[in-house]
């Protein structure tokens, strides 16, 4: 497994992290097997949110690792808060309550990283700062970040915080390339030249904020996976070709494509299949050439100017 320094460099994490959104309805024994596989493959980072399974995902995870002695200090647990039923809530009260709920469900004394899940336009950054300071000084949360934020939203929040934001989790895959498209099409009158996120990729690199790629196999907004999808024949043919050349499963190639970027993006994979997870982790054993990376980008339907 390849490892990267997260944000401020205090956390050394696997370049591939296990997303735990879909484990809520799985038997504890099956989840324990999945976590064992992740650990065997070198994964030490596990991504949660208070809304995953209505909190059940955190509970199942805690139960699955309960028989593993000393495991807590060997893994990095990340969770998120801020999404409620039909609205977003970055109030001090909700953040503190949400963290206490996650700590209880995860059966742990601390969370390694807390992310604000989606931007709340009613956010009062002073309130968020108060909540973060309480959580940090109490030892309940060690590090903080955001998810789905643009550059100026991070700047606004950071102005009031005593802690550095070290992560921004964003949707990114071969078929969801908005954060890099505008960089290829500077000063051009085409849709791809529109900067929809405030140059968030470059911003995060400048600020030493690690980007985490969620839904790395998805196209659109939860429309489905592109891998093996007949809608994307050219892309899948190219993935198959490169996988055969590299001697790895096809499922490893989309992740290798993400890991190849010099921003050192961490890929969050949400599979609940242990065998598939092993295949995905093969991505950390290879590095795509520059030519292969661009071939995949073009095969996804992107045109270079």
Q: What is the pLDDT of residue 8?
A: 75
Catalytic residues: 52
pLDDT at 223: 80
DSSP assignment, residue 89? -
Residue 181 is assigned to a structural domain of this protein? yes
pLDDT confidence of residue 222 = 74
Judge whether 101 lies within some domain: yes
Closest by CA position to 184, among listed 14, 66, 304, 288 = 304
User: Does residue 305 belong to any structural domain of this protein?
Assistant: no
Predicted confidence pLDDT, tens digits, the chain (305 residues): 999 999 978 899 999 999 999 999 999 999 999 999 999 999 999 999 999 999 999 999 999 999 898 999 999 999 999 999 999 999 999 999 999 999 999 999 999 999 999 999 999 999 999 999 999 999 999 999 999 999 999 999 999 999 999 999 999 999 999 999 999 999 999 999 999 999 999 999 999 999 999 999 999 877 889 999 999 999 999 999 999 999 999 999 999 999 999 999 999 999 999 999 999 999 999 999 999 999 999 999 999 99
- Rg for the chain (alpha carbons), in Å? 19
- Judge whether 238 lies within some domain: yes
- How far apart CA 27 and CA 64 sit, in angstroms, is 9
Helix axes 290-299, 252-259, angle to 10 degrees: 120
Q: Are 298 and 292 in contact (CB under 8 A)?
A: no
pLDDT at 92: 98
Residue 9 is predicted with a pLDDT of 81
Domain count for the chain, please give it: 1
Per DSSP bridges, beta strands 210-214 and 266-269 are parallel
The domain in which residue 191 lies consists of 3-300
Q: Which CATH number fits the domain that encloses residue 257?
A: 3.20.20.100
Distance CA 305, CA 299 (A): 15
Backbone angles phi, psi at 203, to 5 degrees: -60, -50
What is the token pair recorded at 7? 């944000």
58 belongs to a structural domain: yes
In a domain, 130, yes or no: yes
Classify residue 188: in a domain, yes or no: yes
Any domain includes 262: yes
Q: How far apart are CA 209 and CA 180, in angstroms?
A: 16
């Amino acid at each position: 497994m390849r490892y990267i320094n997260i944000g401020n460099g205090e956390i050394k994490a696997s370049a591939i992290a296990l997303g735990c959104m879909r484990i809520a309805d799985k038997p504890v024994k099956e989840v324990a097997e999945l976590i064992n596989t992740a650990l065997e493959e070198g994964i030490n980072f596990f991504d949660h949110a208070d809304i995953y399974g209505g909190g059940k995902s955190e509970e199942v995870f805690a139960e699955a690792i309960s028989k593993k002695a000393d495991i807590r200090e060997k893994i990095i647990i990340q969770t998120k808060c801020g999404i409620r039923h039909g609205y977003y809530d970055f109030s001090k009260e909700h953040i503190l309550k949400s963290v206490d709920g996650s700590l209880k469900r995860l059966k742990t004394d601390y969370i390694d990283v807390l992310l604000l899940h989606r931007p709340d336009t009613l956010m009062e950054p002073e309130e968020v700062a108060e909540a973060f300071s309480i959580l940090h000084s109490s030892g309940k949360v060690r590090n903080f970040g955001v998810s789905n934020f643009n550059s100026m939203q991070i700047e606004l929040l950071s102005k009031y915080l005593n802690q550095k934001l070290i992560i921004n989790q964003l949707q990114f895959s071969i078929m969801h390339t908005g954060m890099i498209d505008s960089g290829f099409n500077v000063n051009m009158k085409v849709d791809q030249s529109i900067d929809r996120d405030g140059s968030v990729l470059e911003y995060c690199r400048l600020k030493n904020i690690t980007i985490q790629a969620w839904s790395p196999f998805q196209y659109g907004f939860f429309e489905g996976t592109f891998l093996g999808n007949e809608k994307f024949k050219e892309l899948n043919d190219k993935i198959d070709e490169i996988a055969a050349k590299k001697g790895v499963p096809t499922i490893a190639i989309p992740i290798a494509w993400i890991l190849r970027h010099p921003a050192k993006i961490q890929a969050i994979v949400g599979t609940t299949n242990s065998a598939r997870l092993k295949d995905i982790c093969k991505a950390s054993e290879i590095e795509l050439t520059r030519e292969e990376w661009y071939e995949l980008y073009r095969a996804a339907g992107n045109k270079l100017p």
